[in-house]
Chain A
């Protein structure tokens, strides 16, 4: 009973959310009537053109900006400001260049009741989770882009959020590192059992990782379609289902059906 309650309490609900900005005395509508429910432990991706408002939506969920209309809540609680329930991984790792990797990861701990020793132990554990053990004392500038992003992920996870938001976290990485990181995040998702909401413009990434893919149209951003990916993980990027979904998503964006499927293998 108790467990059931806890489960229901962590569901992310986005109901009739509108967001507009005032630009030069004109109203710019960025999001229009966005509705989405994400269950506990679910992996959902949002894909869309740049400027379709997906990052804005993430900022609203994070509580960094207020909604213009509608409601975003986690379980019973409406999101009004950043809270420990939601963690965020940014596109750039955003590490403090003056702190060691261990100190950067430790910065993610907001629980003040923990002792120094406990914090150290947690930091060690999460560095191990993202495979950065041995780099505790290195400065961010001494690490590659992929390793910096791992530290960013560890910092977001160490605070033990229920929901992890990922804002194009692998967008700045090269193709090989990106595929590597996708496997890693899948591994972390399995181990940590977090709800993950990923924003990406990489269609393959979305299909490879997600339970559901949300396709957003642009200006103003609305949810165009939600696609469920059923196949078991790890997914074969060349499988028929994978390519079928990929073709479908491309069709949504490019509005044409004569895309040569073979070309993309």
Chain B
């Protein structure tokens, strides 16, 4: 019974803040405190949202953005893990690349967009490239950290047992780095989703970011808000999905929490 009670309590705690914001929003728009041409009421936004779904417009733009993200993310994650592993394993590789990483990494990905459009045009390639960069950094850094934080005592076990380098990599180093790598992948997907919208808002003819910019030009705040919240909800769902996957793949890493 206590458990059920706790469950209700935790559900309440999770939804209380968003519900409060929603009610406040409803109150100020219904009471006429704010100009509804600037901030439409949530009811209007939900209606627009429904209409966008019905016309297929939302789905079309969302799927366009989503596939861009998938492409750029896959490229960024794979190369991040690959280069990160190399940098984590080899001290000289780390030295050679670390200054380059140091200079390039602090550049916000938005700053790359004009250059990438110049090089790759306004179409798919430039978007995918932006997402690639956004995904690459968090995956790279977390992979390096993961590889470097391997417990020396566990490596010694493998040395004592005369394991080959390949076996040490596959059975000790990589499993030990996996939680960190997966955290990097999760962060990378988050950035990728942010990047696609930013890239589409600057220059595009389709996608959820384009939909928002176009609606602003037409002065349709309800469409803008519907788009903005779609981004938020999709981002939340993706992260929740990845978190579940992480817990399933790395059950051993959560055993201590389970015990508590």
Contact = CB atoms under 8 A, between A and B. Distances in A.
A62 B255 contact: no
A105 to B, nearest CB: 12
A221 to B, nearest CB: 21
A148 to B, nearest CB: 13
A34 B162 CA distance: 27
B156 A98 contact: no
A142 B156 CA distance: 23
A99 B160 contact: no
For the residues of A in contact with B, the DSSP-based class is loop
B175 A96 contact: yes
A98 B176 contact: yes
Interface in A35-94: 62, 64, 82-84, 87-88, 90, 92, 94
B124 to A, nearest CB: 39
A219 to B, nearest CB: 25
Given A94-B154, A96-B154, A110 B163 contact: yes
Contacts of A141: 252, 255-256, 259
B255 A142 contact: yes
For the residues of B in contact with A, the DSSP-based class is helix
Nearest to B179: A98
Contact of B157 (A90, A97, A98): A90
Contacts of B161: 82, 107-108, 110, 159
Contacts of B219: none
Interface string B245-260: 0000011110110010
A189 interface: no
A138 to B, nearest CB: 10
A242 interface: no
Nearest to B254: A141
Interface in B155-170: 156-157, 159-163
A107 B255 CA distance: 22
B158 to A, nearest CB: 8
Contact of A97 (B153, B159, B163, B252): B252
A30 B253 CA distance: 39
A83 B160 CA distance: 7
B171 interface: yes
A162 to B, nearest CB: 14
B178 A94 contact: no
Contacts of A82: 159-162
A245 B116 CA distance: 81
A63 to B, nearest CB: 9
Contact of B253 (A83, A90, A97, A110): A97
B255 A92 contact: no
Interface string B174-212: 011010000000000000000000000000000000000
A83 B163 CA distance: 10
Contacts of B251: 139
B157 A110 contact: no
A132 B176 CA distance: 24
A259 B253 CA distance: 49
B160 A62 contact: yes
A5 B58 CA distance: 83
B172 interface: yes
Interface of B: 153-154, 156-157, 159-163, 171-172, 175-176, 178, 250-253, 255-256, 259
Given A83-B162, A139-B251, A142-B255, 13 more contacts: A82-B161, A82-B162, A87-B160, A90-B157, A94-B157, A96-B172, A96-B175, A107-B157, A107-B171, A108-B161, A110-B162, A141-B255, A141-B259
Interface of A: 62, 64, 82-84, 87-88, 90, 92, 94, 96-99, 107-108, 110, 139, 141-142, 155, 159
